[in-house]
Structure 1
């Protein structure tokens, strides 16, 4: 058989050795299958012992055994290299570590189970440290603490109707301010029960009420130690100011909610069940997102100093789309309050005179007009002239068919909005009106007074 061609040099293999040259002191090396017969016959039996020679660079083939044995080869298995020994050592270390970990976890689990079963080392959850009893005066809790003693819940019963509302103490004489629609069921001979935050109750009577402003004053007698609620200034309120509402929504007395002023001078109307307009209220309202529900009516809307800035009166209901605070739908974040500056004036008149006066311009409006602005009608309800002779409007030059589009530079889009803007003032205040009728002109007038709505 011809000698095998030498294989290409492997850069990682040891230098090649010519098969015809024997290294000094070492046996001749032959390719597999080329051992001469004389050499094969003379080859000694492998020396007994565990170690034999191994050539790690020799070509391997299935079924072939090394022809030359030596003292560095282990019988039946290759001797591991240094790198293999390190890997094996690491594997042994890893196995040992895992074994120790498993045993340790088992012991720990058994010990934990034993402790739990035997009740050793009871668990005690941490508890927060003591909180100071007081609260910051301008926090919701601080405002509520100061205001609650002045807030009352009203239970009103009439011949055919009953309801619940809220009010607050105005003075030490027992005057309480609330909404007209809260006490209206008892206006013709009903009962009003006033419950204070302490739980004490007293009977109340109506001193005066006004449907146009939706305000009423109730008085209790024989009650001592009353805490009047301070009144703020609604003109100082800004959109975004924090507010707190207190009331008895759904007869849940002393309920406190909070929010912000969402808008100012929001024209709203409420009432109108009678159909003749005598029970419609017109309010240039404060809008808030503080949750307000039926039963909050008449309760205070407070600023950060626990001062009244508004009287909660109406909500926008998602159920039927009405504004009336007498509906039973819940809050959707649209609540409206009568500004306290207006409420203060009306309350003083109700206490002193039993009725309130309304500022007027002396004209009859066409409430069915669908254009932009408020149009003066062609005639009054009684058939007389739409512009009252000698009244504020007549003296300012207003006439039938005029369309009023602005009040003091603020746009009005309907007759209701014009009434709201007028009611936000006092009789005797001067207003500047923008009027359109074949052109645009401005007129100035002084508001008159009327006892009628």
Structure 2
């Protein structure tokens, strides 16, 4: 083991009161070159063992140097704790110069032997033989502080052991120059300011060591915060309820923004936008009759096409007014009309900026094609409905109120489910390219009536329109001549025949023969009693259907007919003749 090096596991022994140099300073450092065991002389009393470590530079209280492992001095519990700053009676420093708490004053050696006399009452004790603080007990070992090594101050700066500056802490104990007990003596050392009996916990005042002002203040602040939170919550609830009530009253619903007005050209909206400027509403008055219908502009000269039964109430002296989609009103006059086709043409004068509707081709129409109907049902102008073509070449008859059959119209019609109601008559039926493909003329009502606008119950999805190809031909004839021509085969039909087909009658009108002499039928070889079953390969089930099929053609057209005569089938070909309407 190396000598001269600190032994950290060494512990101090009893102190030599004189020290190695005999100058009376306890705790002197040995000579570095001397033998550690040179101090073991028996004539000098108990040998003082020098600690083999550096002194405690921090002067840890209450044990003092050399280190925290030094034995603590015995703690004396006085019978009565005096008030701070009040000195005890009698001297508190023994005659040997040792100050209170058992720590010798600097430069004053402690006694060589402990006090063995029994404790007695005297100036250095407090009743019942209890020694004062700082009086060594009998047999108690004494220790001196080791001298500071070279380079260290003999007395390190005192360590401030005073309690934290709490608000309720008592004022620092008055450590006068005479020591804690108030007696005289040498200047206090590094532990002179320490007095374990001067601490606040030993005061019999009922106060804690650091007072209770701060916790009470904190508790008060906590209560204030809780109260503030409750009040704020109540205020927030009231404000929130008020805002919710206002919000419930002032409802604002989401809505789409403004969009462009343009629509796809083939949409219903696009078709309507292009077609409405060319559609008009007709109001007719004549005598005791009046009616409302629809028409559309044919050209820039003011010609308007409509149904015959729309203008018929005007007769020869009635009035017809035309209202355009923009609200302009003009008077009109009849150019020509035909009851057999249920078509009529009227004309307005002095009107500019007319918008004629383009005409389509009804032969190109297919079942299922989308259509748009425009009119004034029940005098509701500019009404637009839509649907599809439900069927083609649907034979219908309308009129017949006169009883002689002169007002009956025969139409090979287009059927549609676009809603058509009374007031739509004469209006256009448009295709997906905004072209006229038919003239709305009749509906089928729930009561079973089949006349035009018969049964005022309204549409049930069965509407009929005259094909535009037929309307175009008739309109041109009415504009050019004021009359329309009808194709004929020159025979009289038995309209009471209930069998399948159209049977040629046995006699004609007014006693004339049933087959006109020199007419198309006679030239083709048709005889009385023959039953016509087909026209150009299409089956015919009644006399009305045969008339509809023939009128769907122009005069001069060549047709092939299939006949039944005496139980045998025969085919003939003929050229249609012409007859002017009355």
TM-score by length of 1: 0.74
Q: 1:120 Cα deviation (Å)?
A: 10
Q: Runs (4+) of structure 1 moved beyond 4 Å?
A: 106-112, 118-123
- State the partner residue of 1:258: 386
Whether the 8 Å contact between 1:210 and 1:356 is mirrored in structure 2 is: yes
Q: What is the match of residue 421 of structure 1?
A: 549
Alignment of 1:73-92 (within 5 A): none
For 1:188-267, what aligned pairs fall within 5 Å after superposition? 188-267=316-395
Whether 2:579 is the aligned partner of 1:450: answer: yes
Match of 1:383 in 2: 511
The Cα shift of 1:382 comes to 1.2
Q: Give yes or no for contact 1:272–1:279 (8 Å, CA) kept in 2.
A: yes
- Structure 1: distance between partners of 2:511 and 2:248: 96
- Deviation per CA, 1:233-256: give whole Å up to 9, x if none: 000000000000000000001100
- Structure 1 position 109, deviation (Å): 8.4
Distance 1:388 1:121, change over 3 A: closer
Q: Pick closer, same or farther for the CA change 1:190–1:118 going to 2, 3 Å.
A: closer
Name the CA distance, whole Å, in 1 between partners of 2:581 and 2:504: 19
Equivalent position of 1:187 in the other structure: 315
CA contact (8 A) 1:315 1:335 kept: yes
Q: 5+ residue gaps in structure 1?
A: 1-105
Find the counterpart in structure 1 of residue 24 from structure 2.
none
Stretch deviating more after TM superposition (355-364 or 315-324): 315-324
Change (3 A) 1:383 1:227: same
User: Cα deviations across residues 196-236 of structure 1 (Å, max 9, x unaligned)?
Assistant: 00111111100000000000000000111111110000000
State yes or no: 1:441 paired with 2:570: yes
Gaps of 5+ in 2: 1-233
Matched, 1:306 2:434: yes
* SS of 1:148 mapped into structure 2: helix
Question: 1:328-339 residue pairs with structure 2 within 5 A?
Answer: 328-339=456-467
Give 1:11-22 correspondences, 5 Å limit.
none
**Partner SS state of residue 258, structure 2:** coil
Aligned residues of 1:115 and 1:121 also touching (Cα < 8 A) = no
Higher relative contact order (CA 8 A, sep 6+): 1
The aligned residue for residue 29 of structure 1 is none
Which structure: larger Rg? 2
Distance 1:320 1:301 in 2: 24
Given the alignment of the two structures, is residue 157 of structure 1 paired with residue 264 of structure 2, yes or no? no
TM-score of the aligned structures, taking structure 2 as reference length: 0.58
- For the 8 Å contact 1:303–1:309, the answer to whether it is kept is yes
Provide closer, same or farther for how the CA distance between residues 396 and 125 of structure 1 changes in structure 2, counting only shifts above 3 A.
same
User: Over aligned residue pairs, what C-alpha RMSD do you find?
Assistant: 1.9
* Shift in Å, 1:132: 1.7
Shift, 1:381, TM fit: 1.0
Q: Does the 8 A contact of 1:314 with 1:325 survive in 2?
A: yes
| SS of structure 2 residue aligned to 1:382 | helix
Contact 1:366/1:375 (8 A) holds in 2: yes
Tell me the distance in 2 between the aligned counterparts of 1:317 and 1:337.
15
How far apart are 1:112 and its partner, in Å? 5.0
